[in-house]
Amino acid sequence: MPALTTYNTRIVSDWVDYNGHLRDAFYLLIFSYATDALMDCLGLDSDNREASGHSLFTLELHLNYLHEVKLDTEVQVRTQIIGHDHKRLHLYHSLHQVGDARELAGNEQMLLHVDLAGPHSAPFTDAVRQRLAALQAAQADLPPPAWIGRVIGLPAQK
């Protein structure tokens, strides 16, 4: 199975900056919508959140701007499950022009399953863990994304 397509959109004028490029904040908005779609796919949709009082919170993310994206470009987000444990989910979103394999931006995220009553961390339900495991197994042949595990920093001075 290839990476799961989780979101499609067209770049609109309100999202474009003075250089004619997608504004940096709107890359994250697009990836955020893709995370919402993945939550729906995993059974963590709004009905589940209301019934269980549980949701996903973002602990950390890294965003890499790889190529410019311009007004009216049709883009899609492809999502790969990197790993998960009983309450955390490590994922990678890549942004592509529809029909093109070239990655325009990459977004690595670590998410935490949270009981909103605390709020505090909580284990995934068995059903969600099974969906995560099935999705990760279906993507087992995908290579690891080139942009995961990166650290921001200046090279050491000599």
How does pLDDT run across 34-49, given as a tens digit for each residue?
999 999 999 998 888 8
Model confidence, pTM: 0.93
Check if the beta carbon of residue 131 is closer than 8 Å to that of residue 121.
Answer: no
Average pLDDT, the chain: 95
pLDDT value at residue 95:
98
Residue 54 has pLDDT above 90, yes or no: yes
pLDDT of res. 27: 98
Is residue 2 predicted with pLDDT exceeding 80? no
pLDDT above 70: residue 1: no
d(CA 7, CA 37): 7
Between 50 and 12, the higher pLDDT residue: 12
Mean pLDDT of 65-90: 97
3-state DSSP call for residue 117? coil
Q: What single DSSP character describes residue 103?
A: E
Query: How sure is the predictor about 158, in pLDDT bands with cuts at 50, 70 and 90?
Result: confident
Q: How much is the pLDDT for 3?
A: 83
Q: What pLDDT is stored for residue 139 in this prediction?
A: 95
CA dist 60 and 38 (Å) reads 17
Which residue's structure tokens are 């994922």?
Answer: 91
Torsion of CA 116, 122, 126, 130, to 10 degrees: 100
Could you read off the pLDDT of 132-149 as tens digits, one per residue?
Answer: 999 999 999 999 999 999
* Cα–Cα nearest to 123, from 94, 79, 88, 158: 88
Q: Is 35 helix (H, G, I), strand (E, B) or coil?
A: helix
